[in-house]
Structure 1
Amino acid sequence: MPERGQETGSQTLRIDKWLWYARFFKSRSLASEACSSGRVRTGGTAVRKSSHNIRVGDVLTFNQGPHIRVVKVLELGQRRGPAPEAQLLYEDLEPPQKKTTSTFSGEGVMREAGSGRPTKKDRRETDRLRGD
């Protein structure tokens, strides 16, 4: 017996359920909110309802934090399983770029990741270089 919101003939699933199954959102209500606010696109068209049905082969575009995700639906899924199982539901067409880490958000002063907090001497040298 098909679930509510699922058609029997052409195998579809609600977009909010699929995004939750594929572990892009922590809760189904967050996935539903993203859909209803128009932040999720399927085939270039903004989705305005969380009840929008998707099928295998659809391409979804949405933002996840600072990254824009573009994924192709490979399977619909039956449940929200562990992460390795969820990764089988989609193909990532544009893997997220690695974010550069910086402990100073000023005028381009970059520090190595994990180098710790700057000392007073480091701050004075930075100020001297910036002309402050």
Structure 2
Amino acid sequence: MAVPERQRLDKWLWHARVVRARTHAAALIESGHVRVNGAREKSPGHPLKVDDVLTVGLSHGVRILRVTGFAERRGNATAARALYDDVSDASDGRQSHT
């Protein structure tokens, strides 16, 4: 089975283990807490492609993720981690001063 070049936003969030259920992903998107390449997205079916940057507002903070791949099925945490680069820390602009 070939891995797709694009994937629905809600499905990708679920496969990447950003949320626990695909219905939670859809609710998060529809409530306006997800941006794709800086633009607020309200459609769970929005197609993602590799190198898209997602900004996801979660109850415990904001995550910024760059899409690096897709999966046909939801895997374990290691497989999920291979689907994105977490750029949250690199882009927050804060530097620690010691």
> Same fold, TM exceeding 0.5?
yes
Q: Relative to structure 2, which stretch is displaced further, 33-42 or 19-28?
A: 33-42
* Matching residue within 17, 24, 29 for 2:11: 17
Q: Which of 20, 32, 49 is the equivalent residue of 1:26?
A: 20
RMSD: 1.6
4+ residue segments displaced more than 4 Å: none
Which structure is higher in strand share?
2
The aligned length equals: 88
Deviation at 1:32, TM superposition (A): 0.5
Residue of structure 1 in register with 2:54 after alignment: 60
Aligned amino acid, residue 33 of structure 2: R
Matched, 1:73 2:67: yes
Corresponding residue for residue 43 of structure 1? 37
Using structure 2 for the length normalisation, give the TM-score: 0.84
* TM-score, normalised with respect to structure 1: 0.63
Fraction of identical pairs, as percent: 36
Q: After superposition, give the CA deviation of every residue in 1:94-122 in whole Å (9 maximum; x if it has no partner).
A: 14xxxxxxxxxxxxxxxxxxxxxxxxxxx
Q: Which residues of structure 1 form unaligned runs of 5+?
A: 96-132
Aligned residue type for 1:26 = R
| Larger relative contact order (CA 8 Å, sep ≥ 6) | 2
Superposed CA offset, 1:17-76 (max 9, x none): 000000000000000111111110001100011010100000000112221100000001
